Amino acid sequence: MTDIHIRSLAKSYGSKSIIDCLELDVAEGEFLTLLGPSGCGKTTTLRMIAGLEKPTGGTIRFGDRIVASPDQNVFVAPESRNLGMVFQSYALWPHMTVFDNVAYPLRMRRAAKRDIAQKVQDALRLVGLADYADRSVSMLSGGQQQRVSVARAVSAHPGLLLFDEPLSNLDAKLRASMRTELRALQQRLGITAVYVTHDQLEALAMSDRVLVMNKGEVMQIGTPADIFRQPRNRFVADFVGFENLLTGTVEQYGPDSCAIRMNGGQALKAKGGEPRAVGETVCVALRASRVALTAATSADRAANDFDATIEAVAFLGDTQQFNLSCLGQTVVATVPVAELGRAGLAEARPGDSAVVHLSPDEVIVTAA
């Protein structure tokens, strides 16, 4: 099993900087995902780990062994890094059989013929294709081809598996089942994995830790629960699906709670979290599903209750979505259809008044 240590990693093409000073440690047996929008530098980072791309600065170490360091003039070729890679495009040889595709890295390493046959069969069994060895890969479905490329990646028993958006070409249902399958396989083999995706659900479902990237920079590294519940800034909150990103100013900060003055002038109580300076402009992130909403039946308002006007109502199946004018901004709330009656919202129409109730625990304060 490989542990990876990346220090001050940089990559530029001419004067264009793609990755600037990336720091990352991946533990033995860990499943780490690079998550970010298209063009943020995920593939470039993965290809530098693989040895398919040379860094322009910094070092990459596998355990004690430096595999890339332009300063020290070290560069270890991909075939000497003991890793397997799975690409979005599968990258199989269409004119070869399943067996020959999976055997390829073993032949590259000049393994003995009997050993190759055994390892190919083992790898095919792992991905459920034991009976497909003699088929031509061009006769297989997309999902089966992706399984062949996974078998090829693990056939030589590498210490590290690298995945670049391996499920993006599959339909939604197959993607969901392959997600579970890949994670189970990685755990069973205990191989360290670095996985690239732009799909937040995939990242959260599969990973031990997630690194959120934007424009070649690390926005946040943490467990899926950290990233989902406690995004560090507006970009991460937006990327992991917080529908409401409001703006306010810190009025008071304490480790357990803080007070925010919203742009509309209202005071909002929020969870403590990371230290903030009084007067700092912050982003207040709220999940639409955590914005409690009721009809405005009385004038009583508790702390963190805010008057709202319904601007639009949309039926989403299990829930109903309300776009509200509230806190001087637009706030989106989703209410389960089964709770509409109790909330007095069964007949709610645009123009009606309502009240938004925010539990301080659901109000996430992040960097603006």
- Is 207 a binding residue for Mg ion by CB under 5 A? The answer is no
Of the listed pieces 35-43, 54-62, 235-243, 330-338, which binds ligand ADP according to CB under 6 A?
35-43
Judged by phi (left if over 0) then psi (alpha if -120 to 50, else beta), residue 15 lies in alpha
Q: What does the alpha-carbon distance between residue 4 and residue 330 come to, in Å, rounded to a whole number?
A: 44
Judged by phi (left if over 0) then psi (alpha if -120 to 50, else beta), residue 58 lies in left
Q: What does the alpha-carbon distance between residue 194 and residue 177 come to, in Å, rounded to a whole number?
A: 19
In angstroms, what is the minimal distance from the CB of 54 to ligand ADP? 11
Q: What does the alpha-carbon distance between residue 66 and residue 81 come to, in Å, rounded to a whole number?
A: 10
- Identify residues 43-102 at the interface with ligand ADP (CB under 6 A): 43-44
When the beta carbons of 75 and 87 are compared against Mg ion, the nearer one is 87
When the beta carbons of 40 and 170 are compared against ligand ADP, the nearer one is 40
Of the listed pieces 39-47, 226-234, 243-251, 331-339, which binds ligand ADP according to CB under 6 A?
39-47
- Is 206 a binding residue for ligand ADP by CB under 6 A? The answer is no
Q: What does the alpha-carbon distance between residue 28 and residue 2 come to, in Å, rounded to a whole number?
A: 5
Among 9, 42, 120, 137, binds ligand ADP (CB under 6 A): 42
- Is 18 a binding residue for ligand ADP by CB under 6 A? The answer is yes
194-197-199 Cα angle (round to 5): 140
Give yes or no for a contact between 306 and 355, defined as CB atoms under 8 angstroms apart: yes
Residue spans of alpha helices (H) in the chain: 42-50, 98-108, 113-126, 142-154, 172-189, 200-206, 224-229, 234-239
- Per-residue x/- marks for Mg ion, 36-65, CB under 5 A? -------x----------------------
- Is 41 a binding residue for ligand ADP by CB under 6 A? The answer is yes
- Is 315 a binding residue for ligand ADP by CB under 6 A? The answer is no
Residues at the site binding ligand ADP, with contacts judged by CB under 6 A: 13, 18, 36, 38-44
